[in-house]
Amino acid sequence: MNRVYVCSCFGITEQQVKKHAENGACTPRQVASACKAGTDCGSCVRRIQAILGRGECPRRELADQGKPVLSALDEAA
């Protein structure tokens, strides 16, 4: 197993971040509250963001589309 540490302060691996993403943590903040990653030096936040941005979170797209969803509703009305 190759262990890629995303957050070395808390020893959080990319695998763990993905796991949290699967469990619904779609933002670095949510990952932070799940496993503390990013709450110390903060240098890993961008890496966490990058992992989340790769679509590891199935719900992320919906979150990203907050505005489009609203305007889609407008169009439907």
- Bridging pattern class, strands 12-13 and 5-7: antiparallel
By CB atoms closer than 10 A (0-12, 13-18, 19+), residue 57 is: buried
CA distance 35 to 7: 10
The stretch among 5-13, 14-22, 56-64, 69-77 that binds ligand FES (CB under 6 A) is 5-13
Which tokens is 23 given?
């469990």
The stretch among 1-9, 21-29, 57-65, 68-76 that binds ligand FES (CB under 6 A) is 1-9
Task: Out of 11, 24, 42, 53, point to the residue binding ligand FES (CB under 6 A).
Answer: 42
44 belongs to the binding site for ligand FES (CB under 6 A): yes
Q: Which residues bind ligand FES (CB under 6 A)?
A: 7-9, 37-44
